[in-house]
Structure 1
Amino acid sequence: MDDRPNQAALSADCPTEAPAERILDGVKVLDLSRVVAGPLAGQTLADLGADVVKIERVGEGDDLRTLGPPWVTSPTTELEQSTYFQTVNRGKKSLTLDFARPEGAEILKALARESDVFIENFRTGTLARYGLGYEDLHAINPRLIYCSITGFGQTGPYRDRSGYDYLAQAMGGQMAVTGLPDGMTGAGPMRVGVPIADITAGNNAVIAILAALYHRERSGKGQHIDISLLDSQVALLLNSLSAWMNARAPLPRTGNDHPTAVPNGVFAVKDGHILIATFNDREFARLAEVLGHPEWGQDPRYARSRDRLANRVQLTEDMTEALSHHGKQHWMKAINGAKVSCGPINDMADIEQDEQLAVREMFVTLHHPVMGDVRVAGSPLKFSETPVDISRAPPLVGEDSEAILRERLTLTDTEIQNLRANKII
């Protein structure tokens, strides 16, 4: 299979003109990761200005490319890629490479020799078999920051296991605290609807890489970063884990209700539902005033947070009756006006039309000369001096293979043709 994109179609420049200065300008990243956590880390670094080369399997590429439906389909060809792939691979160049073969491993070593960051999420020990482990690459580039992302980490009895987000949610306690309370229809452990362990591990990887780059500026030394999905998920538990470890008081599943802050959840109104969130007695007193029941602020059942928690059911009934007389727009205006958090339960269509998100540039359209327009979420990172640059659409498999080998390693056309003929690239 020839994974090269149509070169004539690719003659138009995909990226728009980049800002004059970006935080990670000049930082070179090799991203050998697949699926979500590692690719998300690489994408964030690309947003910040790093030159990120995505190393993919010859012919097939990242497994996430085929994880669909739904699909993004080229307007001019039959080519299609999963919408999932688009979410974590913008801003990158793609090089296909069979590094399990000696010729491919040597190319990867040559690229690592002049790179700053190396991201991988293979099972522990896999890359070392090909002479591409941390110690191997550290020997040829002591400044290299080598980030490994796995299900369970580089140490411990689970280090050789494979691990995905769902498993990390289950083993890391997320499912124990998510879902409807016991006794309700449908009660039981529930996963979070987005790959929260993957996302958190990817973000943790970025934090660690940036810290390691800062350390290298002072010491001149690279290092090995060890990120695990399970560690990342457990660190997310916050008060749920602290309540158990420090008070032996497991927080129960509470569905849409907050386990300790009341009222804090979904409430029915005349024409649907809204979310109301209070976290202190002052906010509750203001809410009670808006709902037409200022006496609740002094009611011994409701005045203090612990009292509202003990009387959650009765308070919910009282609030539901008060809220039933008006619709969503009325209550959102009135409650937000009282400086109490309140908002709608948005679906994807609502989010796309949200004026706040539009102003914050959280929707970006990228143009790819083969795949056409691809819409992606903008970056949540906002800087006054070095704005994030999102301008390069997710690449096709091997889209940049030849250019990278020419520019980075000065290979000749003949050498590149031989590599392709032998399916090294």
Structure 2
Amino acid sequence: MTGCLTGLRVLDLSRVLAGPWAGQIFADLGAEVIKVERPDVGDDTRGWGPPFLVDQEGRETSEAAYFLSCNRGKKSITIDIRNPDGQDLVRKLAAKSDFLLENYKVGGLAKYGLSYQHLRKLNPGLIYCSITGFGQDGPYKDRAGYDFMIQAMGGLMSVTGLPDGMAGAGPVKVGVAITDLFTGMYATVAMLAALEHRRRTGEGQWIDLSLLDVQVATLANQALNYLTSGDVPRRLGNAHPNIAPYEAFPTSDGYMILAVGNDDQFSRFCSAAGRPDLSKDPRFATNSGRVENRRALIPQVAAVLAQHPTNHWLEMLEIARVPCGPINALDRVFKDPQVKHRRMCVSASHAAAGKVGLVASPIKFSNTPVADPKAPPLLGEHTDEILADLLGISRDRIEVLRTQGSI
């Protein structure tokens, strides 16, 4: 069984998360992804731990969980691009690739003769995706950009966290590097769109993708709330700016999520909760009314839900077809029957650990299933294989390159 992208090759010169996330998606879909890393050091995230993977003898390895999260299915080759011979190897790999991913600073690869303008001469069909903090032009183009600061600059943290005046109030980042992840997703979409353009025209192209642009784009309804009304959105904690009741509520033994998305669901909730009067109250009969009068509504909903434990409400509201759910820690996530049924946790053979647990791709195809993933590679694990089999370099020449530090 082959994947949708079997036969395509991605040269992945990116590091950390946004670029590697895109490369990992390509690997999941069947493409050959060659990850170029610095000799002896590798991707920064190999050292971003603890935790680190433990080998078969119970000893801690140098493979950080962070690296494992975004590099499954790839091949690793070590090349020093500061070395002229290393630069030549990258050019040869680019000439045989469909895509190139990189997240160096603006102009960072041009000084090595590895920019899009250089490589398109060798491979006119190359689709070259550059990911930076702020894009290839503009007043901030030379600045480094990291997810945390972009969440702040791009407005996400202004709408994330408890409202002013509450204990613990203040801006809060999302618990995963969501801007990096969205940027990886946009990179994947853009590269596949460019592939379709190449199919029609034979031409590759350069994709300029910015973390800040992506963060602004993914403000979604919050951005349009502002552009439509002129009112600056504020932090609402777990509440929703456009829907109510749609937030976390305390129960008698913990917390739960109540996610009422329309008037019928609210009516069914009120009946199941023993408060049918709430849905008949003119202030709460419509969603717009509930949003405008949330200060009057939410305390009444909270008082009802606090009377019983979480499981009581989950069972009752599921019968009533009212969207709700528990707030699971990760141990419960991976024990959840639905998550287990969908095989979202898989294992793969690993050169050092024997086996490693991985999160599966969420994509489910009817005709070309995503294969069980291959483990993220050890640093330089495939160097000799790629140089010999793909580029036709002799074993003796490989040893010379290794001795002089090019690989």
Quickly name the TM-score band, shorter chain normalised: over 0.9
Q: Find the counterpart in structure 1 of residue 227 from structure 2.
A: 245
SS at match of 2:159: coil
- TM-score (norm. length: structure 1): 0.93
CA contact 1:28–1:51 (8 Å) conserved in 2: yes
Q: Find the counterpart in structure 1 of residue 272 from structure 2.
A: 290
CA contact 1:91–1:390 (8 Å) conserved in 2: no
- CA positional deviation for 1:343: 0.4
Q: Find the counterpart in structure 2 of residue 119 from structure 1.
A: 101
Q: Find the counterpart in structure 2 of residue 160 from structure 1.
A: 142
CA displacement, residues 72-99 of structure 1 (integer Å, 9 cap, x when unaligned): 1222465331111110000000000011
Matches within 5 A, 1:303-318: 303-318=285-300
- CA positional deviation for 1:369: 2.7
Q: Hey, what's the Cα distance between the residues in 1 that align with 2:136 and 2:60?
A: 41
Q: Hey, what's the Cα distance between the residues in 2 that align with 1:171 and 1:246?
A: 21
SS at match of 2:197: helix
- CA positional deviation for 1:418: 0.3
Q: Find the counterpart in structure 2 of residue 9 from structure 1.
A: none
Q: Hey, what's the Cα distance between the residues in 1 that align with 2:90 and 2:20?
A: 18
Percentage of pairs with the same residue = 47
Q: Find the counterpart in structure 2 of residue 11 from structure 1.
A: none
Selected match of 1:408 from 369, 377, 390: 390
Selected match of 2:358 from 376, 397, 401: 376
User: Residue type matched to 2:194 in 1?
Assistant: A
CA displacement, residues 387-417 of structure 1 (integer Å, 9 cap, x when unaligned): 1123310011000000100011111110000
For the pair 1:32 / 2:13, whether they are aligned, the reply is yes
User: Residue type matched to 1:364 in 2?
Assistant: V
Selected match of 2:159 from 157, 177, 201: 177
CA contact 1:115–1:144 (8 Å) conserved in 2: yes
Task: Give the unaligned 5+ runs of structure 2.
Answer: none
Q: Hey, what's the Cα distance between the residues in 1 that align with 2:325 and 2:179?
A: 26
Task: Give the unaligned 5+ runs of structure 1.
Answer: 1-19
- CA positional deviation for 1:280: 1.6
Q: Find the counterpart in structure 2 of residue 321 from structure 1.
A: 303
- CA positional deviation for 1:297: 1.4
SS at match of 1:149: strand
CA displacement, residues 165-192 of structure 1 (integer Å, 9 cap, x when unaligned): 0111011000111110111122121111
Q: Find the counterpart in structure 2 of residue 233 from structure 1.
A: 215
Q: Find the counterpart in structure 2 of residue 13 from structure 1.
A: none
Selected match of 1:128 from 110, 128, 131: 110
Q: Find the counterpart in structure 1 of residue 186 from structure 2.
A: 204
Q: Find the counterpart in structure 2 of residue 397 from structure 1.
A: 379
Q: Find the counterpart in structure 2 of residue 14 from structure 1.
A: none
Q: Hey, what's the Cα distance between the residues in 1 that align with 2:206 and 2:148?
A: 26
Matches within 5 A, 1:339-354: 339-354=321-336
- CA positional deviation for 1:101: 1.2
Q: Find the counterpart in structure 2 of residue 74 from structure 1.
A: 55
Q: Find the counterpart in structure 2 of residue 64 from structure 1.
A: 45
User: Residue type matched to 2:33 in 1?
Assistant: V
SS at match of 2:107: coil
Q: Hey, what's the Cα distance between the residues in 2 that align with 1:320 and 1:407?
A: 64
Q: Hey, what's the Cα distance between the residues in 2 that align with 1:358 and 1:193?
A: 23
Q: Hey, what's the Cα distance between the residues in 1 that align with 2:317 and 2:20?
A: 40
User: Residue type matched to 1:33 in 2?
Assistant: S
| Bigger mean CA offset, 318-327 vs 179-188 | 318-327
Q: Alignment RMSD, CA only?
A: 1.2
Q: Hey, what's the Cα distance between the residues in 2 that align with 1:189 and 1:318?
A: 27
SS at match of 2:209: strand
CA contact 1:177–1:253 (8 Å) conserved in 2: yes
CA contact 2:247–2:259 (8 Å) conserved in 1: yes
- TM-score (norm. length: structure 2): 0.97
Q: Hey, what's the Cα distance between the residues in 2 that align with 1:360 and 1:310?
A: 39
- CA positional deviation for 1:322: 1.9
CA displacement, residues 225-261 of structure 1 (integer Å, 9 cap, x when unaligned): 1111101111111121112222101221000111221
Q: Find the counterpart in structure 2 of residue 23 from structure 1.
A: 4
SS at match of 2:121: helix
Q: Find the counterpart in structure 1 of residue 28 from structure 2.
A: 47
CA contact 1:74–1:80 (8 Å) conserved in 2: no
CA displacement, residues 136-171 of structure 1 (integer Å, 9 cap, x when unaligned): 000110000000011011111111111000111011
- Stretches of 4+ aligned residues off by more than 4 angstroms: none
User: Residue type matched to 1:119 in 2?
Assistant: L
- CA positional deviation for 1:49: 0.2
CA contact 2:351–2:378 (8 Å) conserved in 1: no
SS at match of 2:238: coil
